[in-house]
Homo-oligomer: A and B are copies of this chain.
């Protein structure tokens, strides 16, 4: 079904690699079809246009990731109490599972998410909030339960910072980890990266609430 070596699938496979490496805008349909050993016209035939191909690449990964991520979150919510590390650790298993779905799957997925947020403005964001809003709500709810004293505005910003740290790391992880390439090492590195990222994010989100530490430049009273 999903893994057939059809032209349509070869294009998808080639596209996700190139998109992850160079970004969506910087990857031409010619580069994709050449890498896939397909004809230039094939993309338009099978996916309508480039946007359709991007959507297909993103959704294939999201359909792998989101359901298992949701399961983790549901399980977490069943516990009486948990901390912020537990919340972020919910991403771990779903992320690593992508490596069995596809070679280097975790890294590719991470890069794609990063690209999707920086390259195409709002495209991915819209996709996720319309299709997977329930998962987002579960996640935000878990963060709130783990640290209830966060006011909504601080929560909003800190989740945004978190997204930034994750997405940026993800998008450039290939460039950074250009050391080892074979599968086993990649597996180790991916898990290691998550293990490093989780405590950082958890500590950031649970930081003491900022005081009003404005620079007093000219205080008249």
Contact = CB atoms under 8 A, between A and B. Distances in A.
A171 B118 contact: yes
Nearest to A168: B164
A45 to B, nearest CB: 27
Interface string A156-194: 011011111111110110011000000000000001010
Nearest to A92: B215
Contacts of A191: 214-215
User: Interface range on chain A: under 10, 10 to 19, 20 to 34, or 35 or more?
Assistant: 35 or more
B157 A161 contact: no
B199 A165 contact: no
Contacts of A200: 157-158, 161, 204-205, 207
Majority secondary structure, A binding face: helix
Given A121-B175, A165-B164, A176-B160, A199 B195 contact: no
Nearest to A209: B199
B161 A165 contact: yes
A195 B175 contact: no
Nearest to A213: B195
B160 A204 contact: no
A46 interface: no
Nearest to A201: B204
A28 interface: no
Nearest to A205: B200
A220 interface: no
Contacts of A198: 210
A189 to B, nearest CB: 11
Contacts of A78: none
A17 interface: no
Interface in A91-124: 92-93, 96, 117-119, 121-122
Contacts of A122: 175
Interface of A: 25-26, 89, 92-93, 96, 117-119, 121-122, 154, 157-158, 160-169, 171-172, 175-176, 191, 193, 195-210, 212-215
